[in-house]
Amino acid sequence: MFHQIAVVGCGLIGGSVALALREAWPACRLIAIDRAPVVEAARRLGVVDDGGEDLALASGAELIVLAAPVRQNIALLQELVTRVQGSAVVHDVGSTKRAIVDAARALPQRLRFVGGHPLAGAATDGVEAARADLFRGRPWILTPSPECDPADVDRVTSLASAVGALPRTMDPVAHDRLMAYLSHLPQLAVSALMQVVGERTGSEGLSLAGTGLRDTTRLASSPPGTWRDVTATNPEALGVAIDELTAALQRLKADLAVGDDLQRIFDDAAKWKRTLDESGTGGRGRGES
């Protein structure tokens, strides 16, 4: 279907897309656009055929996959308008969708842009951690806008299917609201918890912590670069989710103060936890480590 595909940002996700496509479509030429040492590593690892730092290298591609942090992807859209001149379909794989979909629609010239978000990730970032099977069996959400050409949406759908993912369509605002709960709020809650606990107990106090705190705060080691972009491009939905969590916590405080022993919340949380653990495939979300 494609003779040439360019991946802009060749880390874990971009590199895994390239590796998976190499298996699925061996005749397709794969180009990486990233900093020179990253492209060099991607070439050495057999992830891509060629690449470099210049976005012009993407001009021969029929499909351009933006896999840099979200705000970089958004900045790239403007550059691509002047470079690819409508000849390529542009797809992004960032963790928030409203901001980039809005940015694409606001461009002065039309770009054949279709947004997306593969729900996959791994503990380690970087092209060295790329895996051809990263997306296998995982949802790949597409967030086309009304003006997208259905043929372009089909092209991106075929990409998602080729790497073994399960493509499905979602409204970008609904996507960001869902991810605020499933992914962004947990990240912020863990970071805030780790900050409060660290500052109030200090390193001597932390030395007495058990595995409960350690496991709960695993996400506090997540790569900050990715998360700063994710949270900065989803402030509205995250703000609502933060308010709901703080309201739930304040209800717990009020219940404790009147001698309630929180049976309902513990039962409720345990019930949802069972639902969570019994559902889905347990693949990692983007940027989660």
Site residues (CB under 8 A) for its own copies, limited to 118-177: 119-121, 139
Among 82, 85, 169, 195, binds its own copies (CB under 8 A): 195
147 or 215: CB nearest its own copies:
215
Q: Which of residues 202-221 bind its own copies (CB under 8 A)?
A: 203, 205-221
Among 37, 108, 146, 282, binds its own copies (CB under 8 A): 282
45 or 190: CB nearest its own copies:
190
Q: Which two tokens stand for residue 82?
A: 């002047």
Q: Which two tokens stand for residue 158?
A: 């075929």
Are the CB atoms for 22 and 132 separated by under 8 Å?
yes
Three-state secondary structure call for residue 116 = strand
173 or 232: CB nearest its own copies:
232
Query: Side-chain half-sphere of 109: how many Cα atoms within 13 Å?
Result: 12
146 or 259: CB nearest its own copies:
259
Among 46, 86, 137, 239, binds its own copies (CB under 8 A): 239
Enumerate the β-bridge partners of residue 8.
33, 66
Q: Which of residues 9-68 bind its own copies (CB under 8 A)?
A: none
By the rule CB under 8 A, 253 interacts with its own copies: yes
Q: In what order do the strands lie in the sheet with 139-143?
A: 50-52, 29-33, 4-8, 63-66, 89-92, 112-118, 139-143, 166-169
Among 4, 16, 73, 183, binds its own copies (CB under 8 A): 183
In angstroms, the Cα distances linking 63 to 118, 149, 168, 187, 246 are 16, 14, 19, 32, 43
